[in-house]
Structure 1
């Protein structure tokens, strides 16, 4: 798959604090790549360097064989986390203005605006001022502005924040549609369930450096050990004595048993001691949300075998 964006060895400092420490990843054509991390991890700094809002102290950013100030920004779409549209400007006017900034033909832009307004349940809102729209409607308009000029690379920073479930589905469908048609998408979000549902690969940052990088399947296999939830009245001592259990979280008559790395769940269940009381049992892998929380809080509870790269 063609590589659209390459970020290599990115370093950035602010006064005495090193915000980025050798960040390296790539985004490929037609894929949805997640960039994840807790607040202050370096995600926004990375995105701002890609967008040319600031420039790195070391390292390089390459897009279509162009680097630094030579990157053709009109081929990149950007939805910032902090939304901002001129409040007293009509929807059609602000979107045409954004298209013009990207050197996109205005006659074609107008056609696409009307098409997208209909698609996002905003038909007839083209002559309405931004300040007359609800927050969710305003987010839809800003999203349209980020994709209107048919970007080859689309950067979305918390695109689902504040959206109702119906609007979330609209955004998800359109993001998938863009990827299916070849747009390379870099998506930053704290909503791990949506990331797990949508993204092909992910890059996780903590304290300005890479901690996870790979496809979802690779991350799940490497980091997401199995866990077993048992409902039944059992003592903590009995549960902790079960072979291949790394740790136990117990609450009233329910317990979650986190299994060690490379445990075969079928064999483990067959060998479950007969003195364990089981009223209900569920076996699944640790979620991306749990991996994120573990890394973000430096708990180091999740076992993994070495560094993951893709």
Structure 2
């Protein structure tokens, strides 16, 4: 597998706070890699170190076999969480300006601007000033600016924030298309449902340290097994007799049974009491959202491989 970006033992402190505590990960060409974590976990610090906005106290970042100040910024696209475009500048002018900063041919950039404006339902807006655009339109323009120069690595920080569902789908399709054509994508988002749909691998930081690193399947196998959502009028005494249950959440007539590691669902179903009131029953794996909440809040309620 072609590794485009390698982060090795990255450490960064601000005064007496250690923001990054030796994190390491890789991003491969043609994959979408999620970088996750609650606010203050170290995601933005990591991204800013990769971008060369700041530099680590120790550790290394390798991109295209280059490191430090030698990393070619023209090969990287970046959509920051904090949106910022010159408001009194026309859409075409600001996009051509951003392309020029990346040493991208202006004539080719202009063709690509028109193509992307049409794709993102902004056709005819090239001579509109940024301040006349809606928030969603402005976000589309900034996204175009991050991909216009055909970067090898694209870093997206909360790209779906503030977008309506239709625009989210357009962004998802374009991001997936870029990855399919070889772009390495590092995506930071708090929208776990979208991360779960799109990303090939996950890297999660908590308190400046790695807590998750691997494919979604690997993560789900590591963090808990299955859960059963049961709707019915059932007393706790009856539910507590059900075998191979790690813990129970009571929500009125809706009960969530978190099953123990290694439980095989169709075998487990045969052990349910015959007098159990079942109006509805669903069994599925725990979601990435639930894993994120458990780790981010330090609850540690979800059992892990080799743990309880």
Distance of 1:204 and 1:306 partners within structure 2: 20
Moved more, 296-305 or 141-150: 296-305
Superposition map of 1:105-116 within 5 A: 105-116=105-116
Instruction: State the Cα distance separating 1:274 from its structure 2 match.
Output: 2.0
Q: 1:195 maps to what in 2? A: 195
DSSP 3-state at the match of 2:97 = helix
Q: Give CA deviations for 1:173-217 in whole Å, capped at 9, x if unaligned.
A: 000000000000000000000000000000011000000100011
- For the Cα contact (< 8 Å) 2:85–2:142, is it kept in 1? yes
Counterpart in 1 of 2:232?
Answer: 232
Moved over 4 A (4+): none
Structure 2 runs not aligned, ≥5 long: none
Distance in structure 2 (CA, Å) of the matches to 1:125 and 1:249: 52
Match of 1:28 in 2: 28
Match of 1:147 in 2: 147
Contact conserved, 2:20 with 2:208, CA < 8 A, in 1? yes
- Corresponding residue for 2:137? 137
Matches of 1:279 and 1:120 in 2, distance apart?
Answer: 45
Aligned to 1:89: 89
Contact 1:29 1:182 in 2 (8 A): yes
For 1:75 and 1:193, the matched residues in 2 are separated by 29
- 1:56 corresponds to 2:43: no
Using the size of structure 1 for normalisation, the TM-score is 0.97
**What do you get for the CA RMSD once the two structures are aligned?**
1.0
For each residue in 1:139-167, what CA deviation from the matched residue of structure 2 results, as whole angstroms up to 9, or x when unmatched?
00000000000000000000000000110
Secondary structure of 1:212 counterpart: strand
Distance (Å, rounded) in 1 between the aligned partners of 2:207 and 2:22? 11
Give the deviation of 1:241 after TM superposition: 2.6
Judged with a 3 Å threshold, the aligned counterparts in structure 2 of structure 1 residues 80 and 306 are, in CA distance, closer, same or farther, namely farther
SS in 2 for 1:166: helix
Q: What CA deviation, in whole Å up to 9, does each residue of 1:219-263 have, x standing for no partner?
A: 122214200011111112221231111111111111000011111
Q: Distance in 2 between matches of 1:63 and 1:217?
A: 27
1:177 match: 177
2:158 match: 158
- Using the TM superposition, name which of 219-228 and 18-27 deviates more: 219-228
- 2:271 corresponds to: 271
Cα distance in 2, alignment partners of residues 126 and 254 from structure 1: 53
Matches within 5 A, 1:289-308: 289-305=289-305
CA distance in 2, matches of 1:45, 1:86: 25
Aligned 1:195-214 pairs, distance under 5 A: 195-214=195-214
Provide Cα deviations, 1:75-121, integer angstroms capped at 9, x if missing partner: 00000000000000000000000000000000000000010001100
Deviation per CA, 1:52-76: give whole Å up to 9, x if none: 0000011100001000110001100
Partner residue in 1 for 2:104: 104
SS of the aligned residue for 1:49 comes to helix
The aligned counterpart of 1:13 is 13
**Structure 1 unaligned residues grouped into runs of 5+:** none
Aligned residue pairs: how many?
307
Within 1, Cα distance between the matches of 2:169 and 2:67?
35
1:41 matched to 2:47? The reply is: no
Whole-Å separation in 1 of the counterparts to 2:285 and 2:192: 15
In structure 1, what is the equivalent of residue 71 of structure 2? 71
